[in-house]
């Protein structure tokens, strides 16, 4: 079982009013059908669709894609915590539209001031009540706040996207990465071992990040590490197959059962708990 636990699909937004802030432009079309071809080619059994930056709270496309094939596709929605009634909108996307996760994005400068604010605690509580997974797109400076939220909401599974974008030049002992490792004290916090090219100073296979992987493996354990490709951005930075095989090729300390957990069964237990 291989689960790609982090990818994006969207319909083009030709009238998007602002400059693109990610690797691929909102005016391009990245349909679910394209990724389904990658699944078939590379033997991916399940996929977690993470709402991209561009459409805001209109999670319709990822929700509809997941609703069409719920046995193999899950959707992670975005709710803007700055807008009153966020918890009720989350309930709509979960109960009415079938989303299995929520993504918060303090890495977005516009959303950063609201991250962890007391006004957003109702959203976290509703996530707890609904049993959804909260993914956090953060920089390392946001992790002390995330630690407070992890302590306050122990029933909410939390997944830190892309290692929280550490600085490999500071290494494992850098204060930012140490803040990530400190989150291991809470058993409901997971790390998504993905998006190396967002923060690595090197090309594939991102050797400057290997010590970071080993450190989260040692501190969190393989049961709390989750792989995702970051499709479609990964295609422009390396390739899907290289990303898929990176753990198997370069982390030779991983036992076969640990590799299976990171590449699939950990995400399966989070997003399809009824079948894990």
Helix (H, G, I), strand (E, B) or coil at 276: coil
Band (152; pLDDT cuts 50, 70, 90): very high
Q: What is the predicted pLDDT for the residue at 25? A: 66
**Better-predicted residue by pLDDT, 91 or 54:** 91
Q: To which residue do tokens 């709509």 refer?
A: 92
Percentage of the residues of the chain whose pLDDT score is greater than 90: 89
d(CA 270, CA 268) in angstroms, rounded, equals 5
Q: What is the predicted pLDDT for the residue at 14? A: 65
Q: Is the pLDDT of residue 55 over 90?
A: no
| DSSP conformation letters of 203-261 | -TT-GGGHHHHHHHHHHH-GGGEEE---BTHHHHHS-HHHHHHHHHHH-TT--HHHHHI
Q: Give the burial class of 60: count Cβ atoms within 10 A of its Cβ; 0-12 exposed, 13-18 middle, 19 or more buried.
A: middle
d(CA 38, CA 165) in angstroms, rounded, equals 26
* pTM of the entire predicted model: 0.94
Q: Give the burial class of 91: count Cβ atoms within 10 A of its Cβ; 0-12 exposed, 13-18 middle, 19 or more buried.
A: middle
What is the pLDDT of the chain when averaged over all its residues? 94
For residue 45 the two structure tokens come to 């059994």
Q: What angle do CA 233, 44, 77 make, to 5 degrees?
A: 55
For residue 21 the two structure tokens come to 């802030």
Q: What is the predicted pLDDT for the residue at 24? A: 62
For residue 53 the two structure tokens come to 């930056």
d(CA 192, CA 171) in angstroms, rounded, equals 18
State the alpha helices, DSSP H only, in the chain: 32-42, 60-68, 86-91, 121-130, 143-152, 175-182, 196-199, 210-220, 233-237, 240-250, 256-260, 266-271
162-187 mean pLDDT: 97
50, containing H or E segment: strand 46-50
Neighbours of 185 (CB within 10 A): 11
The 3-class SS string of 146-167 reads HHHHHHHCCCCCEEEHHHHCCC
Band (190; pLDDT cuts 50, 70, 90): very high
Q: What is the predicted pLDDT for the residue at 17? A: 57
Residues forming a β-bridge with 191: 160, 225
Please, how many CA atoms are within 13 Å of residue 114, restricted to the half-sphere of its CB? Answer: 19
> pLDDT digits over 217-259, tens only?
999 999 999 999 999 999 989 999 999 999 999 999 999 999 9
> pLDDT digits over 99-149, tens only?
999 999 999 999 999 999 999 999 999 999 999 999 999 999 999 999 999
> pLDDT digits over 200-220, tens only?
999 999 999 999 999 999 999
* Domains defined along the chain, listed by start: 3-271 (3.20.20.140)
Q: Is the pLDDT of residue 40 over 80?
A: yes
Q: What angle do CA 1, 9, 189 make, to 5 degrees?
A: 55
Q: Is the pLDDT of residue 274 over 60?
A: yes
Please, how many CA atoms are within 13 Å of residue 275, restricted to the half-sphere of its CB? Answer: 11
Q: What is the predicted pLDDT for the residue at 19? A: 57
Q: Distances from the Cα of 265 to the Cαs of 6, 39, 260, in angstroms?
A: 14, 17, 6
Q: 101, 76 in Cβ contact below 8 A? A: yes
């Amino acid at each position: 079982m291989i689960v790609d636990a982090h990818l994006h699909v969207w319909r083009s937004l030709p009238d998007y009013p602002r400059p693109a802030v990610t690797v691929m432009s909102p005016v391009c079309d990245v349909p679910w059908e394209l990724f389904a071809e990658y699944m078939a080619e590379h033997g991916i059994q399940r996929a977690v669709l993470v709402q991209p930056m561009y459409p805001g709270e209109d999670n319709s496309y990822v929700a509809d894609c997941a609703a069409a094939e719920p046995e193999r596709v899950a959707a992670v929605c975005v709710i803007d915590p700055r807008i009153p009634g966020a918890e009720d909108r989350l309930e709509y996307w979960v109960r009415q539209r079938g989303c299995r996760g929520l993504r918060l994005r303090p890495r977005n400068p516009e959303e950063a001031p609201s991250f962890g604010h007391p006004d957003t605690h109702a959203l976290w509580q509703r996530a707890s009540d609904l049993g959804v997974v909260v993914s956090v797109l953060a920089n390392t400076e946001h992790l002390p706040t995330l630690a407070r939220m992890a302590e306050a909401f122990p029933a909410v599974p939390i997944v830190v996207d892309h290692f929280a974008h550490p600085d490999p030049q500071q290494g494992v002992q850098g204060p930012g990465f140490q803040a990530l490792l400190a989150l291991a004290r809470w058993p409901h916090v997971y790390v998504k071992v993905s998006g190396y090219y967002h923060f690595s100073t090197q090309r594939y296979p991102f050797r400057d990040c290997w010590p970071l992987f080993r450190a989260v493996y040692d501190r969190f354990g393989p049961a709390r590490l989750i792989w995702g490709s970051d499709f479609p951005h990964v295609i422009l930075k390396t390739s899907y197959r290289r990303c898929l095989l990176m753990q198997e090729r370069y982390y030779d300390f991983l036992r076969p059962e640990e590799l299976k957990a990171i590449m699939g069964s950990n995400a399966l237990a989070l997003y399809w708990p009824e079948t894990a």
